[in-house]
Amino acid sequence: MNATFSATDERMMARALALAARGLYTTQPNPRVGCVIADGDTIVGEGWHGRAGEPHAEPIALREAGDRARGATVYVTLEPCAHHGRTPPCADALIEAGVARVVAATFDPNPKAGGGLARVHAARIDIASGLLEDEARALNAGFFSRLERGRPWVRLKIAASLDGRTALADGESKWITGEAARDDVQRWRARSSAILTGIGTALADDPRLSVRLDADHVAPLRVVLDSSLRTPAGSHVLDGTAPTLIVHATGSEPLDSRFDRVELFAVDGGSGQLDLGAVLAELARREVNELQIEAGPILGGAFIAAALVDELLLYLAPTLLGDTAQPMLRLPALPALDAAARMTLVEQSTCGPDLRLRLLTGHPDVHRHR
Ligand code: AOF
Ligand code: ZN
């Protein structure tokens, strides 16, 4: 739709996006959605979706607006839903409230919920869409990825020295980056639907893959790729303190009670390498929107080589570990320099003494926001 938007429209939608972002850590598996109801330049109601099962953004804003919703403009960061899901259809609530115009930043890719704009339009209410669409999609990159591509948005987190080394030759890697960077990682974990690691890291570090953050959040699914089920008894990931999925190769079946408190899933792994596409498809089926990979150079390299990484979250510590230390990623040799894929640097900041870079492997225009 090629609608034209005023400066007020833009300001209101920017506000709706800021409200939507308040659900960053809590809406899983739902998208983060914000809504502003305005009478001209005056905001009369605001709302955002907080948690699946709780009200959507629109009814919250409508409640605040009360009678002032009649004849007003509704700005919503995702097309209003037209379905009876965990809550009644927002499109119907907007029609009933007698609003004059509904502006959506973007369409809802969920086939079960979408179609609300058309329904509103059929009730002779003005509609428009596409305002701050890139920003709205970026905020829910995982939700769109899951519904449009059938796989999560994949973020690979790496902490390395300035010379790109992630551990000493003997495997020691605690701690290359500082506390501020490690706290920052917790926030990226908290917004993720799942955190994935490999058996190498599980054996070497016994990670918890949990979120240690004061802010309210939905605990991410812990995922370990463990082809031949070598995760040792007593590992943190087997402790049952968070939902956990151990992915193994078809044919290697558990014979003991180590895995009693977790779920198991088998994928093809004939050549000793699990089918990563099948892993991602299964995670999408489990409504994983954003997946954060925190793994060693072999598994990280395999995801990169398979072109399954969307975003690189890279922390660089101002230190040098030298060429006997372990590399950032194991990748197949390149035939020539110009065969190396270029990424797009979208953000650079510091975390205490360390540098944080965010890079996208794909479409730079679509996902430039956090
Ligand atoms: C909206 N406003 O604030 C959100 C929407 O299971 P339910 O009922 O919560 O529905 C979830 C679906 O509704 C979700 O997958 C997405 O398509 C849409 N989310 N829609 O109108 C909102 N969060
Ligand atoms: Zn809704």
Same domain, yes or no: 172 and 194: yes
Which DSSP string corresponds to 133-155? HHHHHHHTHHHHHHHHHSS-EEE
Q: Based on the structure, what is the number of domains in the chain? A: 2
Looking at 105, 139, 173, the residue that finishes a domain is 139
| Active-site choice (46, 58, 135, 294) | 58
| Residue at 50 is within a domain | yes
Same domain, yes or no: 192 and 321: yes
CATH at 124: 3.40.140.10
Same domain, yes or no: 161 and 93: no
Q: Which residues line ligand 1 (CB under 6 A)?
A: 30-31, 33, 49, 52, 56-58, 78, 80-81, 85-87, 90, 108, 110, 113
| Residue at 365 is within a domain | no
Same domain, yes or no: 164 and 292: yes
3-state helix/strand/coil string of 319-362: CCCCCCCEECCCCCCCCCHHHCCCCEEEEEEEECCEEEEEEECC
Domain residue limits at 354? 148-360
pLDDT at 370: 33
Q: How far is CA 122 from the centre of its chain?
A: 34
pLDDT at 90: 97
How far is it, in rounded angstroms, from Cα 83 to Cα 154?
Answer: 29
Same domain, yes or no: 132 and 168: no
How far is it, in rounded angstroms, from Cα 360 to Cα 303?
Answer: 14
Please tell me the distance between residue 29's alpha carbon and the centre of ligand 2 in angstroms: 14
pLDDT at 3: 75
Q: Which of 174, 228, 177, 183 is closest to 206 using CA atoms?
A: 174
Same domain, yes or no: 192 and 316: yes
Closest C-alpha to ligand 1, atom 10: 85
Q: State both tokens at 111.
A: 């086939």
If one counts every other C-beta atom within 10 angstroms of the C-beta of residue 129, the result is 18
Please tell me the distance between residue 141's alpha carbon and the centre of ligand 1 in angstroms: 15
Q: Which of 208, 206, 204, 202 is closest to 170 using CA atoms?
A: 204
Pocket test residue of 24, 28, 30, 58 for ligand 1, highest count of atoms within 8 A of CB: 30
pLDDT at 366: 44
| Residue at 311 is within a domain | yes
| Residue at 204 is within a domain | yes
pLDDT at 363: 53
Predicted confidence (pLDDT) per residue in 242-277, tens digit:
999 999 999 888 778 999 999 999 999 877 789 999
| Residue at 368 is within a domain | no
Same domain, yes or no: 276 and 204: yes
Looking at 96, 114, 139, the residue that finishes a domain is 139
Please tell me the distance between residue 83's alpha carbon and the centre of ligand 2 in angstroms: 7
Q: Which residues of the chain have pLDDT under 50?
A: 364-370
Same domain, yes or no: 18 and 164: no
Closest C-alpha to ligand 1, atom 15: 30
Same domain, yes or no: 110 and 231: no
Residue with tokens 């994935």: 196
pLDDT at 175: 87
| Residue at 88 is within a domain | yes
Same domain, yes or no: 256 and 118: no
Please tell me the distance between residue 164's alpha carbon and the centre of ligand 1 in angstroms: 41
Helices (H), 123-263: 133-139, 141-149, 179-190, 199-205
The number of the ligand 1 atom at minimal distance from the alpha carbon of 90 is 21
Catalytic site includes residue 58: yes
Same domain, yes or no: 130 and 174: no
Predicted confidence (pLDDT) per residue in 123-159, tens digit:
999 999 999 999 999 999 999 999 999 999 999 999 9
pLDDT at 368: 39
CATH at 225: 3.40.430.10
| Residue at 269 is within a domain | yes
Looking at 112, 139, 166, the residue that finishes a domain is 139
48, 56, 80, 254, 366 from 35: Cα distances, Å: 6, 9, 10, 48, 21
The number of the ligand 1 atom at minimal distance from the alpha carbon of 57 is 3
Predicted confidence (pLDDT) per residue in 75-95, tens digit:
999 999 999 988 899 999 999
Same domain, yes or no: 351 and 263: yes
| Residue at 247 is within a domain | yes
